[in-house]
Structure 1
Amino acid sequence: MKRKWLMGLAGIMLITGLVGCGSESDGDASDNKSVTLRMLAWGNGPAELEGDKEILDVFEEENPGIKVELIHVPYDNVNEKFVTMSAGGDQPDVTWVRDTALQSFASQNLLMELDELLAEAGLSEDEWLPGAWEMGRYEENVYALPRDLITHHIVYNKDMFDEAGVDYPEEGWTWDDFLEKAKDLTIEENGKITQFGTSGYYWMEALLQNGGEVFSMDGTEVLIDTPESVEAISWIRDLSNLHKVSPTATESEGLGDLFLAGRAAMGIAGPWHWRAYAEDGNFEWDIQEMPGGKEGNKSQLLGLPVAIGSQTEHPEEAWKLLEFLTHGKGQEIQADIVGAYPSVIRAADTFGTSHYAPDNIAIVAKAMEENTVVQSFFPEKSEALTNVQPVIDQINNKDLDVEDELKKLGDKLRTEYDKK
C-alpha cells in the first residue's frame, strides 16, 4: 500500500538516531537522584488537567525520586506536537496518543515496544478489558496501554420526556424506538424547530450498529460504500432532512452543546460530559445504551492510549509511570477524579462511585462488557479519515444521494490508500 503518513513524519526517519534531550536529571532514580519525566497530554490549559495532576501527585509521593511535568496542548494539535518534538530531539518521555495515530508513530520507531517490560512485570492481556491491548498494538507488538476505556451512550432530558409523556428509553432499544421518541420530542413553532428530538448522531456509531465500517480491520479493504454503510449514513441523513428531528451540521454550527442548552431532548455523550450536565444543566437527566441497528446496540471502544517515547533517557522511570497509570494504583483513583472508566478488570467497579455518575450508570458497564467494537487500526487511517467527514457533512447539509456520494468517496480512498 502507498505509505502516506501524517504530515511531517516523512522526515522523522532522518533523525531517529538523535538522543532525546527533553528530560532533566542529575542521574538515575535508583541512585537517589531526582529524575523529571515529561508527559505530553491534551487539554486546553492546566485547569482542564487538574484531575490528572492530582493522580500524578500520588505517583510522585510513592516514587520520591521521580517528578512528572505535564505538557498540555489541545486535542487537535497533540499529534503534530509529538511529531515536532520528536523531530527536534526533544521528545516527551511519556505521551498520550490519539488511537488513530498510534500505528503511524509505532511504524516510524517513535514509540518504545512494551512487550519485554510487560513480560518482566508478569502482566498479561487478560487483566485488561477486552480490546484494550488492540488499541496499542502494531504488527503483533504492544506500544501503548490504555489509561482508560469507554464508549458512547445516549443522554436524555427527563424533564422533556415527562412533559411530552414519552417513556424513557429502555435497555435493548432500537433505531426505530429512537426515531419514534425523537419525533415525539421535536417541537416546531411558527415554522421553526425550537426543540430537537436529538442534538445529532455520530456516523461512526451508526456504521457499527448496522454492520458497516470505513475500512476492514487491517486497512486492506474500503467498506464505506457497502450496502450496510450506505444504509447507515442514509438513516443519519434522514434524521435531519426527512424526519427533521436533528439539526444538520450547518444548522447547529455555533450553537454549542444543544443538549446542555436545553434545545435537544437527547444526545450522544460520554462520562467527560457528566460534570457539565450535573453542574450547568437546569434539568434532570440520565443515560441509556446506544440504540441498536441490524448488529445490535453497538458502540465504539474509545480509549486513552499512553506510550513511552523511543528517545527517552529514562525508560525505567517512564515504565513506572506508565504502569502506575494504566495498571497500578492510578486505575483505582482515576474514576472519581477525572471520570475515567478503568481499563483493567480489577478496578472496573470503582467507576460506579464516580461523583457525577447518573442513576443508570450500570448501563456503562454493560456496554463495555457486551457491546463495544474495536476499531480498525493501521498507519494511514488518521490521514484517510480526514477525507470522510466533509463528505458526510455534505450529504447531510445538502440532502445528497448517499449511495452516489459514498461510491465516489470509496473510489477515492481506494486510489489513495490501496494496499497492494
Structure 2
Amino acid sequence: MKKGILALIGCSLLMIYLFVRSHREITITLGMFTGSNWDVYNAESYKVIDDAIEKFEKEHPNVTIEYKSGILKQDYSAWLASNIASGDQPDVFMVLAEDFNKLSSLGALMPLDDLIKANNISTDIFYESALSSGSYQNTQYALPYEINPTMMFVNRDLLEKEGIAIPEGNWTIEEFYQICAQVTKDTDNDGTIDQYGSYGFKWQDAVNGYGISLFDDEGASSNLNQSDVREALSYVQKLKDLNKGYQVSSEDFDKGNVAFYPLTFAQYRTYQPYPYRVSKYSTFKWSCLAMPGTTANQKTSQIATSLIAVNSKTTQRQLAFEFLETLTIDQEIQQELFENSQGASALKSVMASASTKALLDQDAMSNYSLKQDVLDDIIENAVIEPKFKKYNNIIERCDYLITNALNENRIDDALVDIEKEIDNQLK
C-alpha cells in the first residue's frame, strides 16, 4: 500500500515536471541588421521579420523571439564578432556573405545537414546557386533568406532607334561587343562620341561570361595567368577602347545614352514606380536579360545571397532550426518578403507563383519589362562562387590589382606578377 502511494506520488511529480517543462517560457534570440542587405532603400525592413516572429510564436505559445533593433549593416559584422567572442551570440542570426566562409571555418555556425534530413526538408525547393551560398566544404551551415541576381539592363529605345533587335536570352559575348560597337557613335556630328555601348561591365562579368574558374577547388592556387583569362580581360579592354578615352558614367545611362548596364535585381525593383520607390529611368523603355556568355545556357550572372544560420552553441537546437525554417522555407513568409523587399526569394515555388507573376507583369504595362521566366532562368543559371576561407579577401585584392592594370592598359605584363602575389597569399 505504502509503495503504491509512493509510486503514485512519483508519477504525479513526474507529470507535473513534464507539464511545467513543456510550458516554460523559452526565449530564442535573433541577430539581424536594419535596412536592406542590398544597400538600397527599404521602408519595410522589419515588417517581414516581425510577421515571421508573430507566426512562429502563435505556433509555439511558450516561445518568445527577441532581437535587438537598430544595428546598421556596416556595423553588423563587428557587432556579431563581438558577441561571438563574448559567448553571447544569438541563437539564430543573419550572416553577411563576406563573413560566411570565416564563421563556417571557425565553427561558429551549426551544421544543418542532419536537421534538414530529420525534418524531412528537400533541398530541391531552393535554387541551387542560392543554397550553395550557405555551404562550406560540402556541409550546409546556413539557408538562403533572400537573393539578388545581377542582370543586364537593356535600353530598348536606343536599340530600336539603331534598328537593332533586342537580344535573346542566350545571347553571347560576341553579340554584346558587336552591338556596343554599332551603337557607339557621335550622333550630333560635333566630333565627340555621345552614345555608348555599355557602362559598368566589369572584368568579373567577362570572366563569368567566358566560364572561367579563377581558383582551384581548394583555394590553394589561382589560374590568373592563363590564356582564357587574358582573352576575357582583353575583351574588357576592347569594350573600354570603343569610347576613345571617355569615362562613361551612370548619368549617361540615366539620360538614355547607353545601351547596356549590368545592375542587380534589387536596383531594378528600387527604381520601379511602386509605392515608396522612385521611377529613376523614366525617359526610355528598358528590359532585362541574363548576362552574356560564350555558349548557350552558360552560368553567367552573379548572385548575392542573404544567409541565416544557427548558433553552434545554442541550447535550443530544434526550436532555433524551426524558426530558421519559418524565415527561409515558409511559403507565406517568403512570398511576403518578395512583395515587401527588393530582392528575390530563394524558393523556386515563390518565384513561380501567380502573385510573383502579377507583380512582375505590372512592369510590362509601363516602360519596364522583366518576365518571370527570364528571371527564373537568370537565377537558375547563376554563377556559384568558390568556397574557401580566404576567398573574400583574395577576390578583393584581385579586383584592386586587375582593375588598376586595366586602367593603366598593362594587363598583359601585369598578370604574371598578379598571379604570383595571389598565390603567395593563398599559401
Same fold (TM over 0.5): yes
Q: Distance in 2 between matches of 1:310 and 1:97?
A: 13
Alignment partners' CA distance in 2, 1:29 and 1:411: 60
How many angstroms apart in 2 are the aligned matches of 1:92 and 1:256? 40
2: CA distance, partners of 1:35 / 1:162: 59
State the alpha-carbon separation in 1 of the partners of residues 409 and 34 from structure 2.
Answer: 35
Aligned to 1:11: none
Shift of residue 301, structure 1, vs aligned partner: 4.0
- The residue identity in structure 1 corresponding to 2:242 is H
TM-score scaled to structure 1, two decimals? 0.80
Whether the 8 Å contact between 2:28 and 2:320 is mirrored in structure 1 is no
Give the deviation of 1:413 after TM superposition.
1.2
CA-to-aligned-CA distance 1:78-99 (integer Å, 9 cap, x gap): 4344323322434243333233
Q: Tell me how far 1:29 sits from its aligned partner.
A: 11
What does residue range 266-277 of structure 1 map to in structure 2 within 5 Å? 266-277=260-271
Aligned match for 1:60, one of 45, 53, 57: 53
Of 152-161 and 39-48, deviating more is 39-48
2:361 maps to 1:359? no
Matches within 5 A, 1:73-222: 78-188=76-186, 190-222=190-222
Paired residue for 1:404, among 388, 396, 413?
A: 413
Q: CA deviation at 1:396?
A: 2.6
1:285 deviates by: 1.4
Pick aligned residue for 1:343 from 325, 346, 349: 346
In 2, Cα distance between equivalents of 1:142 and 1:413: 28
Q: Equivalent residue for 1:304? A: 306
Amino acid at match of 1:227: S
Do the aligned residues in 2 keep the contact of 1:155 with 1:267 (CA within 8 Å)? yes
Distance of 1:96 and 1:187 partners within structure 2: 47
Please name the residue that 1:5 is paired with: none
Question: Residues of 1 paired with 2:245 and 2:209: CA distance?
Answer: 19
Bigger shift: residues 269-278 or 382-391: 269-278
Cα contact 2:28–2:92 (8 A) shared by 1: no
Matching residue of 1:381: 391
Per the alignment, residue 327 of structure 2 pairs with 325
Counterpart of 1:235 in structure 2 is 235
Task: Name which of structure 1's ranges 196-205 and 104-113 shifts more when overlaid on structure 2.
Answer: 196-205
C-alpha distance 320-104 of structure 1, shift in aligned 2 (>3 A): same
Aligned 8 A contact 2:225 2:419 in 1: yes
What amino acid does structure 1 have at the position aligned with 2:395? Answer: L
Which amino acid letter does the alignment assign opposite residue 98 of structure 1?
Answer: L
Cα distance 1:71–1:383, how it changes in 2: closer, same or farther (>3 A)? farther
Q: Deviations over 1:342-400 (max 9, x none)?
A: 2233333134333565533221112333x323221101111112211111221232222
Unaligned runs of 5+ in 2: 1-19, 58-62, 273-278
Counterpart secondary structure, 2:258: coil
C-alpha distance in structure 2 between counterparts of 1:337 and 1:43, whole Å: 12
Contact 2:101 2:387 in 1 (8 A): yes
Shift of 1:272: 0.2
Matches of 1:246 and 1:339, distance apart in 2: 35
Distance across 1 between alignment mates of 2:221 and 2:317: 37
Matched pairs, number: 383
Do the aligned partners of 1:224 and 1:406 also contact (CA within 8 Å) in 2?
A: yes
Conserved 8 A contact 1:44-1:72: no
Q: Structure 1: 5+ residue runs without aligned partners?
A: 1-27
CA gap 1:152/1:86 in 2 versus in 1, 3 angstroms: same
SS at match of 2:128: coil
CA change 1:297–1:314 in 2 (3 A) is closer
Q: Given the superposition, is the C-alpha separation of residues 246 and 309 from structure 1 closer, same or farther in structure 2, using an over 3 Å criterion?
A: farther
Q: Give the C-alpha shift of residue 339 in structure 1.
A: 3.9
Give the letter aligned to residue 302 of structure 2. Q
Question: How much is the aligned-residue C-alpha RMSD, in angstroms?
Answer: 3.1
* Distance (whole Å) between structure 2 residues aligned to residue 29 and residue 72 of structure 1: 34
> Structure 2 vs 1, CA of residues 98 and 360 (structure 1 numbering), >3 Å: closer, same or farther?
same
Q: How many angstroms apart in 2 are the aligned matches of 1:47 and 1:397?
A: 28
Give TM-score, length-normalised by structure 2.
Answer: 0.79
User: Do 2:146 and 2:346's aligned partners in 1 also have CA atoms closer than 8 Å?
Assistant: yes
Counterpart code for 1:201: F
Q: SS at the partner of 2:216?
A: coil
The answer for the alignment partner of 1:281 in structure 2 is: 281
Which region of structure 1 is more displaced relative to structure 2, 294-303 or 280-289?
294-303
Shift of 1:139: 3.0
Conserved? CA contact 2:154–2:287, under 8 Å: yes
Q: Distance in 2 between matches of 1:61 and 1:179?
A: 51
Structure 1 residues 246 and 213: alpha-carbon distance in aligned structure 2, compared to 1, 3 A threshold: farther
User: Larger Cα Rg: Structure 1 or Structure 2?
Assistant: 2
**Alpha-carbon separation, structure 2, partners of 1:360 and 1:48:** 20
- 8 A Cα contact 1:40 1:72, kept in partner: no
Write the distance in 1 (CA, Å) between the matches of 2:418 and 2:393: 14
**SS of aligned partner of 1:286:** strand
Query: Is this contact kept in 2: 1:94–1:306, CA < 8 A?
Result: yes
- Matched-pair contact (CA < 8 Å) for 1:211–1:228: no
Equivalent position SS for 1:299: coil
- Residues 181 and 412 (structure 1), Cα distance of their counterparts in 2 relative to 1, 3 Å cut: same
Identify the residue that residue 16 of structure 2 maps to in structure 1.
Answer: none
Cα distance in 2 for partners of 1:79, 1:196 equals: 39
- Equivalent position SS for 2:153: strand
